[in-house]
Copies of this chain bind each other. A is one copy, B any other.
């Protein structure tokens, strides 16, 4: 680790012991959960308010110091890696729930609140927050990466669930992007501009999100298949039938094996779908029966459904641990994770061709995904010190992305661009990429907001 740059004295005066250059803490803030090489920031700041973030940004701006926002560090595209050093703005102490508006079914929180924290806070009410990326993440981070997850097929992604944001801009201005009205036609949609901008246009400090009514009944189901193609076709037909499935997750045979080992389970080691149904008691039974019929038509081996809460929680706990279960397939490995999303009509072909690639791959490479949205992941478990393995994973990742783009899909369905998908953005967007560059240059002319992420070149 190189010696840090000199930190402006005014920043130290502002934050006192909430600014640190401690090497261990800097190192902790230099990487996320992925295989992207770590690079620590020069200092880590722990602001407690929007106004303090604005002051930090102003000081950094005057001193031409890069600013990298940090939530939980649970992302996988290197978005928090401080490749140009600078000040990491860790928002974890901005973790106050500012308001729950029960009648309006929304929550107003500081950006460091996590989705688990918010849902624990809502325990005992009839409301819940739907977006579920699996790992614990802050709402600010989830908004910044336009996160989604298992519930998105039913309730939408952060794009649909953020009502408004407080954002600190590159020059320290503080803006609020929208009122709490459920809809508005009042000018440009700044909320959606900052959702998914990954901190490159400003730092999200507060988030207002939609909440949903808890369903009266929830049931889960699991169904193994002979082939991954059968499983995918079951999902496609389920979605196209208009069955309002709340979750539908695919795990291939390698993923199921990993989950069995990690969570001490004994699922059949074969491609498997996990379902969740939400609604009235009669409704969830109706949905499960309809999906069972579809799965049988596609060679489903043993459709089992349950309304037992403990069974259901065990199933989804296993799914939520899948990322760590897969990492455990190869101790010491890091993951390079693909994240393409294609129109559902192309999903079976996209996964089939990808599985053929993986058959010829020397690395452990489990596949799983939120297939109801057309989104799936391959985890390439690599030795981070092996250039050969990195090269193999990069080559296959590129093949998968190019395949998805040729199918009118996207290089990243939910993880964001970070460092990992930067090369693909111009491929995916063509001339529109230059519009993104123009917006970046306008709102961050010094290129200090999470520099070197999302856009490979700036204007």
Contacts and interface: CB of A to CB of B under 8 A. Distances in A.
Given A189-B146, A345-B101, A443-B435, A413 B183 contact: yes
A4 to B, nearest CB: 31
B182 A412 contact: no
A67 interface: no
A193 B182 contact: no
Contacts of A188: 193, 196-197, 201, 435-436, 439
Interface string A414-431: 111100010011001111
B412 A186 contact: yes
Interface in A383-436: 404-405, 408-417, 421, 424-425, 428-436
A187 interface: yes
Interface in A143-178: 145-148, 152, 156-157, 159-160, 169, 173-178
Nearest to A153: B182
Given A147-B185, A176-B430, A186-B411, 11 more contacts: A103-B236, A103-B343, A126-B242, A160-B160, A176-B429, A176-B432, A179-B405, A180-B343, A188-B435, A190-B432, A435-B443
Contacts of A156: 160
A374 B105 CA distance: 13
A359 to B, nearest CB: 25
A364 to B, nearest CB: 25
A327 to B, nearest CB: 22
Interface in A253-304: 280, 282-283, 286
Given A184-B410, A186-B428, A345-B101, A169 B421 contact: no
A104 interface: yes
A373 interface: yes
A454 interface: yes
Interface centre among A242, A280, A416, A441 (most CB of B within 10 A): A242
Contacts of A197: 188
Given A345-B101, A408-B181, A412-B186, A442 B432 contact: no
A102 B345 CA distance: 9
Interface residues of A, number: 92
Contacts of A209: none
Nearest to A202: B435
Given A179-B405, A193-B192, A430-B176, A240 B185 contact: no
Given A146-B189, A189-B196, A343 B181 contact: yes
A241 interface: yes
A107 interface: no
A342 interface: yes
B177 A103 contact: no
Q: So how many copies of this chain end up in the complex?
A: 2
Contacts of A286: 280
Interface centre among A106, A147, A180, A283 (most CB of B within 10 A): A180
A341 interface: yes
A362 interface: no
11 contacts: A103-B343, A104-B345, A148-B183, A173-B431, A176-B430, A179-B405, A181-B342, A182-B373, A183-B341, A186-B411, A190-B435
A195 interface: yes
Contacts of A342: 181
Contacts of A428: 179, 186-187
A438 interface: yes
A397 to B, nearest CB: 14
B409 A180 contact: yes
Nearest to A372: B182
A344 interface: yes
A375 B184 CA distance: 9
Contacts of A413: 181, 183-185
A5 interface: no
Nearest to A286: B280
Interface in A90-111: 101-106
A317 interface: no
Nearest to A411: B186
Nearest to A455: B187
Contacts of A160: 156, 160
A443 B438 contact: yes
